[in-house]
Amino acid sequence: MEADAHQQSGRMGDLDALLWAVERDPRLASTVGSVSLFSPPIDPDALRVRLERTTRVVPRLRQRVVGNPLSLAPPRWEFDPEFDLDNHLDVIACDGDGSLRDVLDMAAPILAAPFDRERPLFSFTLITNVENDQSALIMRAHHAIADGLGMLQIQVELFDFEPNTPDPVEMPEIPTGPLLTPGERVSNAVQFERARTNDAIDELKSSLFSLVADGPIAGFDRLVDTLGSGLRSMQPVTPLSPVLVERSTETHLATVALSLAELRARGKQAGTRMNAVFVAGVARGMGLFHEQIDAEVTRLRMGMPVSKRSDGDSEASGNFFAPVRVELPVTADSPVALIQIVDALVESHRDEPALDVLGPAANLLSRLPRSAGGALFGAVLAGTDFLTSNVPGSPVPIHVGPSTMLAQYPFGPTNAAAVNVTLLSYGPDVHIGVSVDSAATDQAALLGTCIADGFNWVLS
Confidence tier at 344 by pLDDT (50, 70, 90): very high
Q: Which has the closest alpha carbon to 387: 427, 359, 353, 414?
A: 414
pLDDT digits (tens, 9 = 90+) for 150-164: 677 788 889 999 999
Residue 45 clears pLDDT 70, i.e. is over it: yes
Residue 124 clears pLDDT 70, i.e. is over it: yes
Q: Which has the closest alpha carbon to 400: 107, 141, 135?
A: 135
Residue 4 clears pLDDT 60, i.e. is over it: no
What average pLDDT score do residues 280-303 get? Answer: 97
Q: What is the per-residue DSSP string for 46-80? A: HHHHHHHHHHHHSGGGGEEEE--TT-SSPPEEEE-
What average pLDDT score do residues 374-391 get? Answer: 77
Question: SS3 for 4-41, per residue?
Answer: HHHHHHCECCHHHHHHHHHHHCHHHCCEEEEEEEEECC
Residue 292 clears pLDDT 70, i.e. is over it: yes
pLDDT in the model for residue 442: 96
pLDDT in the model for residue 177: 86
Residue 312 clears pLDDT 50, i.e. is over it: no
DSSP 324: E
By the 10 Å C-beta count (0-12 exposed, 13-18 middle, 19+ buried), 86 is classed as: exposed
What average pLDDT score do residues 361-390 get? Answer: 67
The angle, 0 to 180 degrees and rounded to 10, between the axes of the packed helices 358-367 and 182-212 is: 140
Q: Are strands 76-79 and 89-93 parallel, antiparallel or unpaired?
A: unpaired
Among 53-67, 77-91, 379-393, name the one with the lowest average pLDDT: 379-393
Confidence tier at 204 by pLDDT (50, 70, 90): low
Q: Are strands 419-426 and 386-391 parallel, antiparallel or unpaired?
A: parallel
Confidence tier at 275 by pLDDT (50, 70, 90): very high
pLDDT digits (tens, 9 = 90+) for 62-109: 999 987 666 667 888 999 999 999 999 999 999 999 999 999 999 999
**Residues forming a β-bridge with 16:** none
Among 225-234, 260-269, 345-354, name the one with the lowest average pLDDT: 225-234
pLDDT digits (tens, 9 = 90+) for 126-177: 999 999 999 999 999 998 886 555 677 788 889 999 999 888 878 999 998 8
Q: Which residue has the higher pLDDT, 135 or 216?
A: 135
What average pLDDT score do residues 350-358 get? Answer: 54
pLDDT in the model for residue 186: 73
pLDDT in the model for residue 143: 83
SS3 content of the chain, % helix, strand, coil (to 5): 45, 25, 30
Cβ atoms within 10 Å of 150's Cβ, excluding its own: 24
By the 10 Å C-beta count (0-12 exposed, 13-18 middle, 19+ buried), 351 is classed as: exposed
Output phi, psi for 240, to 5 deg.
-90, -20
Q: Which whole-number Å values give the CA distances from 162 to 194, 369, 398, in the listed order?
A: 49, 49, 7
Residue 189 clears pLDDT 80, i.e. is over it: no
